[in-house]
Structure formats: C-alpha cells, structure tokens
Amino acid sequence: MYNNITIDNELINKLVASKDIDLDKIKKGDMPGDKIEIGSDHIKRAQIILPKLVDMLLPILNGHPNQRAVIAVCGGSGVGKSEIASLLSYYLSTIGLDSYTLSGDNYPHRLPKYNDAERLRVFRQAGIQGLINHGVYTYEIGEKLMELQKAGQDSSPDEQKEYPWLSIYQLAGKNGLKNYLGTPNEINFDEINNIISLFKNGADTILLKRMGREEADLWYSPVDFKEKKVMIIEWTHSNNDNLAGVDIPILLNSTPEETLEHRRSRGRDGGTDSPFTSLVLGIEQDMLISQASKAKIIIAKKGDLLSYNDFIKIMSKGQ
C-alpha cells in the first residue's frame, strides 16, 4: 500500500518562476539522432503547463494501484514536442515524480526511409486508381504523370492549371494517404499499447525499441522503470484513438501559418517543403484537429492556454 503523493507548491512556484535551467541536466527523448534544441519559448510553455499538469496528475497517481500515469505530448511538425516533453520530464522528476520520455517515432512498422517510400507509393497508387475509376486515364496521361512523379511535382496543386486531370489524381491520392498515415497500417500501436500496459502494471524493466534510418539501425534497450512514476510519450500521434492507456493528453498547438514559418526558418531540405511533405503535414494537422477534443491541456505556440472552443475558433480561421 502506497502513501498518497503530495507535492510542495512552493517548489512548483520556484520552478515556474526560474529562468536558470541547466540544460545539460535535462534528459532528452529516446529517439536516436533526434536533435533537440531547447529555447526560451519551450521553457515558457513548459512552465505554464506544469502547475495545471500537476493538479491533474496527483489524483491519477494516487488512484492508481502502482501510482503510475501516462502523459501524451502531441502536436504538429516543429511545435516543440521533444523539447517540451523533455522539460516536463525534468520538472516532474525535480518535484519527486521520476519520469521517462518515450518517442513514438520509434514505432512505425517500417524503417523511416521505407516508410517515406511507402507513403509515396500509397499516394501514387491511389491517385492512379482514381484516374482509372473516373475513366480519364490514358497512355498519354500516364506518360506525363511519370514525368511529374520523377520531378516530385505530381502532388503539387500548382500543376493542376496545366493538367486539370491532376485534381482527380491528387484528391484520390490524398484520400488513400489518409487511410495510411497515423493508422495501424503505418504504426505498430499494439507494441506501444503493450509498453503502456507493462508500465502501468508495475514492470521494473521494459525493453524499448530504438530505430535509425538504415537496416542495421534497429535494436532494443532495457530501460529501468523501477522508480518511475510517469511516462511521457512525445509524438504527433500520441492522442490517436488507437493508443490506449494515456491519462493526460497535452496538445501543443500551432496554426498552419506558424508551422510553415517555422519550417521555412529552419530551411528544411534546403528550402520550403516539397509538395508531398506539405500534403503529409496538412493531413496530420487535420488529424490533430479531429482528436483535439480529447486533450486535457491545449497550449498555443505563443503560450496561451486554450479551451477546446478557443482552439476550434483559431484553427477554423486557417481553413
């Protein structure tokens, strides 16, 4: 029988007010090669989230037979999931709630380079099938489509002006991609759900997956959970309906404009995103919006805590 966990509010207040953080002491997530650069904006949001999170967390921990809980930190590309999850884990561990940060990006069925290729294959196969189903596919269209595919422009809406049949191809491809991204076809949700179950059932040690981009970059590492009270899953899909056992989903929100500006500032792939990457990000954004009603905490990129209704109003402006 455990004693009820209590937290010193003064310590929380000090952490929230502190501007001095030894970043070297902050343990990062467990995705190999993941680059995490914690900035003042990440610290600001983490400090805003912390008091509200602890208020929600304590009754969950004290009501659980093993005093364990799972937090999800989700959001779109570049919103700061890895950084804020690492900060929250650091803060929680500082107040006596030892935590571990798990990256969901380790759990697709395929290695990243093969998964990227599969996403493109799904889009293109569904797109071609859409042309066939509408009775517009011809040999000449097939030849032109191959040229656009080789140039990486078959998913570009701009090309529809010259090739109107591309609207059919792109819509069908997008619908096909929706049936792959963030679904059990792409992600091994069963494996993550088993990890959550093992953790909540009091496992002392759990084997966790590690994944790079090449065939040899795949292994499992035993992780000691004996003293851990909290598991934080940072991942675009950590508020997904296929994930079971999450107690507190946290949505880090960014508008499409903020996401685009962030990726431009980072110079992804030497410039703006490819048309296909933009398509994938758009679908993921729609998924996040559809799942947002389950989030217990929603915070804007500028640090404002949002109600679900506030969130919907903000996001509807960008539709």
Strand, coil or helix: what is 302? coil
- Do 290 and 229 lie in one domain? The reply is yes
Q: Does pLDDT of 301 surpass 70?
A: yes
Among 178, 201, 234, the domain-final residue is 178
| Total number of domains in the chain | 2
Please write the tens of the pLDDT for every residue from 196-252.
Answer: 999 999 999 999 999 887 778 889 999 999 999 999 999 999 999 999 999 999 999
Is residue 230 situated within a structural domain?
yes
Taken in order 157, 163, 164, 169, the sign of the CA dihedral is negative
- Do 147 and 30 lie in one domain? The reply is no
> What contacts 248, CB < 8 A, 6 or more positions away?
53, 56, 57, 60, 69, 70, 71, 72, 296, 297
Distance of alpha carbon 94 from alpha carbon 8, whole angstroms: 11
Q: Does pLDDT of 59 surpass 80?
A: yes
Q: Which of these ranges, 99-108, 159-168, 220-229, 258-267, has the smallest mean pLDDT? A: 258-267
Distances (CA, A) of 172 to 85, 124, 165, 186, 256: 36, 9, 11, 19, 23
Q: Which of these ranges, 112-121, 150-159, 265-274, has the smallest mean pLDDT? A: 265-274
- Do 14 and 102 lie in one domain? The reply is yes
Q: Does pLDDT of 183 surpass 50?
A: yes
- Do 144 and 97 lie in one domain? The reply is no
The enclosing domain of 298 has a CATH number of 3.40.50
pLDDT greater at residue 141 or residue 3: 141
Distance of alpha carbon 149 from alpha carbon 80, whole angstroms: 32
> N- to C-terminal Cα distance for the chain?
51
b/e code 36-60 from CB counts within 10 Å (16+ = b)? bebeeebbebbbbbbeebbeebbeb
Is residue 4 situated within a structural domain?
no
- Do 205 and 164 lie in one domain? The reply is no
Contacts 24+ apart (CB under 8 A), 137-142: 141/165
- Do 138 and 219 lie in one domain? The reply is no
Q: Does pLDDT of 270 surpass 50?
A: no
> What contacts 12, CB < 8 A, 6 or more positions away?
50, 51, 54, 95
Torsion angle defined by CA atoms of residues 200, 27, 236 and 217, in that order, rounded to the nearest 10 degrees: -90
Is residue 286 situated within a structural domain?
yes
Domain of residue 97 covers 9-106+192-317
Is residue 86 situated within a structural domain?
yes
- Do 132 and 15 lie in one domain? The reply is no
Residue pair 120/205 in contact (Cβ under 8 Å)? The answer is: no
Distance of alpha carbon 103 from alpha carbon 91, whole angstroms: 18
Is residue 102 situated within a structural domain?
yes
- Do 169 and 208 lie in one domain? The reply is no
Distance of alpha carbon 298 from alpha carbon 249, whole angstroms: 9
pLDDT of amino acid 22: 78
- Do 95 and 123 lie in one domain? The reply is no
- Do 155 and 268 lie in one domain? The reply is no
> What contacts 257, CB < 8 A, 6 or more positions away?
318
Closest among 68, 64, 39 to 301, alpha carbons compared: 39
Please write the tens of the pLDDT for every residue from 89-137.
Answer: 999 999 999 999 999 999 999 999 999 999 999 999 999 999 999 999 9
Distance of alpha carbon 192 from alpha carbon 108, whole angstroms: 10
Among 131, 149, 178, the domain-final residue is 178
- Do 102 and 117 lie in one domain? The reply is no
User: H/E element holding 208?
Assistant: strand 205-211
Among 152, 178, 204, the domain-final residue is 178
Is residue 1 situated within a structural domain?
no
- Do 93 and 232 lie in one domain? The reply is yes
pLDDT of amino acid 35: 72
Is residue 184 situated within a structural domain?
no
Is residue 3 situated within a structural domain?
no
Strand, coil or helix: what is 69? strand
